[in-house]
Amino acid sequence: MTDIPAPQVKYGKLQRLFDDNFLDYTSYVIRDRAIPDIDDGLKPVQRRILQTLYNMDDGRFHKVANVVGATMKLHPHGDQSIFAALVNLANKDYLIDRQGNFGNIFTGDQASAARYIECRLTPLALATLFNKDLTEFTDSYDGRMQEPVTLPAKLPLLLLLGAEGIAVGMATKIMPHNFCELLEAQIKYLRGDEFTLYPDFPRGGIIDVTGYNQGNGRLRCRARIEEVDDKTIVIRELPYNLTTQALIDSVERAAKAGKLKIASINDYTAEEVEVEIKLARGVYAAETIDALFAFTDCELSVSPNLVVIRQNMPCQMTVDEVLRHNSDKLVRDLEKELHIELGRLREKLHARKLEQIFIEERLYKQIEEITRYREVLSTVHTALEPFADDLPRPVTKEDVEKLLEIKIRRITRFDINRQHKEIRAIEKSIKKVEKDLTDIIGFTVNYLQSLLDKYGQLYPRRSKIEHIDEVDIRAAALSNLVVGYHRESGFLGHKIKAENKTKDIELTCSELDRLFLIFRNGAYRVVNVTDKFFVGSDLLWMGIVKSDLVFNVIYRDGRENYTYIKRFRTPKFILNREYRLFPEHKRSIIQMLAVGETGIRARISLVPSSRARYNSLEIDLDDYQIKGAGAKGRRAGNRVVRRVTNITGKPPARKTTAQSLPGFTPPKKKNGS
């Protein structure tokens, strides 16, 4: 049979159809929905909202429902997405004035319906976002209106507002920064100085910026917690993007899991954050604060990712690169504005001088008897030729036509002194603009400084930057479990009860602790806290793993039948793996085990001998060096040790040291010491 190619051809066309459509969809989501533009720092929906508010602006508040409806003429999506974007933008407090309930960023409460609340552009937005002469417009989605490609923003809005968005195959998370610090950084950049920028969050809190990495690293954010008294904690500020309700939920989950104990938690937040936590009996604020950071959302890790649209393409940038780009663009925009203003002033000066010459020199008298319009134009043009050197530019037909439109009343009431005064004012303005153009960097710095002086006091820094120490989660965890070891059954765990106080072992710990188990035959292992675990009946010691513990061990080597003394700190380990303190032998056994770095003493009872002067010795283990857990140790002597007794805290029977033991070899002296 021969293969039929038709199905393969159809599949190929379908595959290409999917590929092309998916590529179009991907490009649309990236550029027209999720990722902000670097030039004005806005997503399309935000730009359309601001442009609509500017078109509607009359100084008064507008019903949000009307603003949303007008924005739909530019935005090809539903009213809910526009309303949500408007509320979010208004709650940032920079560009939109609010009137009514726009929700609460602290508690997460939603805004009232669009028909009940009102908004308008702030003076800052009106002063810095709009200029028709600098704005490039394009057709809206249905071709009925014009919308801006980007707004000629004079503020680094991308870093000021921050942004979050998820597109196809990429996402952006840009942190908001402080208004004053951004403008001060722009001034430093324009002057050639170094600058550093760090985020500032509207909810306040504490930020560790050690790993910020220019907007592409990691931030650690904490709530600001006050200890009112031993039994009361109040949360005053929140981490990034967290509400009080989300914080309370995380605290309640931690309390339910037994990681901290609270009596009650109440939210009194209104204009400022106030979440009060009352502690349970036997629990105090100092120890609970670390637990809040360790087990609740009072501490969060944020991973910013600065992805923007630049020259119609997505790219990843740093905070410094974005600020430099916005500053360079500001210089260009201000220079364009000055050139436009200079052109307008020169045109205005030209028109005023023409009018002055036409009236003062009574040139209108020359056309009183002329009936043909073409001759009138020619006569006036000829009459103005002697004054060509006094005019900024040559006279055109349009200039003459404007002169002919002057009414007789205006000519008869012409004030020569006032006209001269206005011309001098225009000439002065032209000189000022020309001077500004010669030093455009200085002009830009002055512009930024004027914004700082006018609006800076409205936007103080809210978040505090400081180094945050890592919380020891195990140390912060509540010691709410009692692990028991039942020697007769060989089981260990927090569901096991120690019945015999002399043989069994009990230990209070948390569920995050790790248990260090040492057996009489010299084996040891580290295990997690569990409900029930079989370890056998040979367990000698059980404790919580701590790196600073010093173990003092006296053991008998069964192969040699000699006793050795060794000291070591908590060794490195792999969970549930068995290690040994000395080689395994059926007669090898630990004769004494004590934990402590100083003050440990032992009595060594030797096998009696008729030739020996004494049959027991008391030693101070401080005389022995601390080495590794695998070290063999120092031999206690040439005689067999019958028994070792821990006599720590008891007065010595006679003064003996390790050097007095039979067979003791003193360590070699170093450097002549």
- The DSSP letter of residue 296 is S
| Cα 399 to Cα 212: distance, rounded to the nearest angstrom | 61
The active-site residue out of 25, 116, 373, 614 is 116
3-class DSSP state of 457: helix
> How many Cβ atoms are within 10 Å of 553's Cβ, its own excluded?
24
3-class DSSP state of 590: strand
DSSP string, 340-351: HHHHHHHHHHHH
Length of the chain: 673
- Scan for tokens 């120690």, then name that residue: 498
H-helix segments, 440-511: 440-455, 473-476
Q: What angle do CA 228, 229, 233 make, to 5 degrees?
A: 50
- Give the pair of three-digit tokens for residue 419: 């006209």
Among positive and negative, which fits the CA dihedral 260, 207, 219, 329?
positive
- Scan for tokens 């710990």, then name that residue: 509
- Nearest Cα to Cα of residue 159 among 237, 94, 88: 94
| Cα 412 to Cα 415: distance, rounded to the nearest angstrom | 9
DSSP string, 353-395: HHHHHHHHTTGGGGGSS---HHHHHHHHHHHHGGGGGGSSS--
H-helix segments, 4-122: 6-29, 44-56, 64-71, 79-90
- Give the pair of three-digit tokens for residue 12: 């190929």
> Phi and psi at residue 50, in whole multiples of 5°?
-65, -40
| Cα 427 to Cα 433: distance, rounded to the nearest angstrom | 10
Contact 196, 206 (CB under 8 A): no
- Nearest Cα to Cα of residue 649 among 604, 594, 605, 606: 594
| Cα 403 to Cα 306: distance, rounded to the nearest angstrom | 58
H-helix segments, 212-304: 244-256, 285-295
Q: What angle do CA 553, 554, 559 make, to 5 degrees?
A: 120
> How many Cβ atoms are within 10 Å of 592's Cβ, its own excluded?
21
DSSP string, 558-583: TTTTEEEEEEEEPPP--TT--EESS-
Beta-bridge partners for 646: 602
- Give the pair of three-digit tokens for residue 352: 């005023």
- Scan for tokens 């595959």, then name that residue: 15
Contact 397, 377 (CB under 8 A): yes
Contact 275, 296 (CB under 8 A): no
- Nearest Cα to Cα of residue 538 among 522, 561, 523, 520: 520
Q: Could you confirm whether 116 is annotated as catalytic?
A: yes
| Cα 403 to Cα 264: distance, rounded to the nearest angstrom | 83
- What residues are labeled active site? 116
